[in-house]
């Protein structure tokens, strides 16, 4: 069940990546709902996802 939440978070983040405010908001929600090991996995995915999207990089501060 928890893996479903991780997959859902990834799906939502991809869909809202057109808007940095929405992306940050959904990232914050995802971080609150995921397990600690899933947060680590999400951070790895995020770094590769925002690599070519500098407007979304500001949301990476939420990981700290």
Element (H, E) at 44: helix 36-49
8-state DSSP, 1: -
> Is the Cβ–Cβ distance between 39 and 33 less than 8 Å?
no
- The predicted-structure confidence for 11-42, as pLDDT tens digits, reads as follows 999 999 999 999 999 999 999 999 999 999 99
pLDDT at residue 64, as a whole number? 84
> Is the Cβ–Cβ distance between 39 and 64 less than 8 Å?
no
- The predicted-structure confidence for 53-62, as pLDDT tens digits, reads as follows 999 999 999 9
Residue 44: pLDDT above 70? yes
The domain segmentation of the chain, as residue ranges, is: 2-63
pLDDT at residue 32, as a whole number? 95
């Amino acid at each position: 069940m928890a893996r479903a939440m991780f997959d859902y978070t990834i799906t939502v983040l991809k869909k809202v990546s057109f808007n940095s405010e929405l992306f940050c908001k959904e990232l914050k929600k995802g971080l609150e709902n995921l397990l600690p090991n899933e947060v680590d996995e999400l951070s790895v995915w995020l770094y590769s996802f925002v690599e070519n999207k500098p407007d979304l990089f500001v949301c990476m501060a939420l990981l700290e």
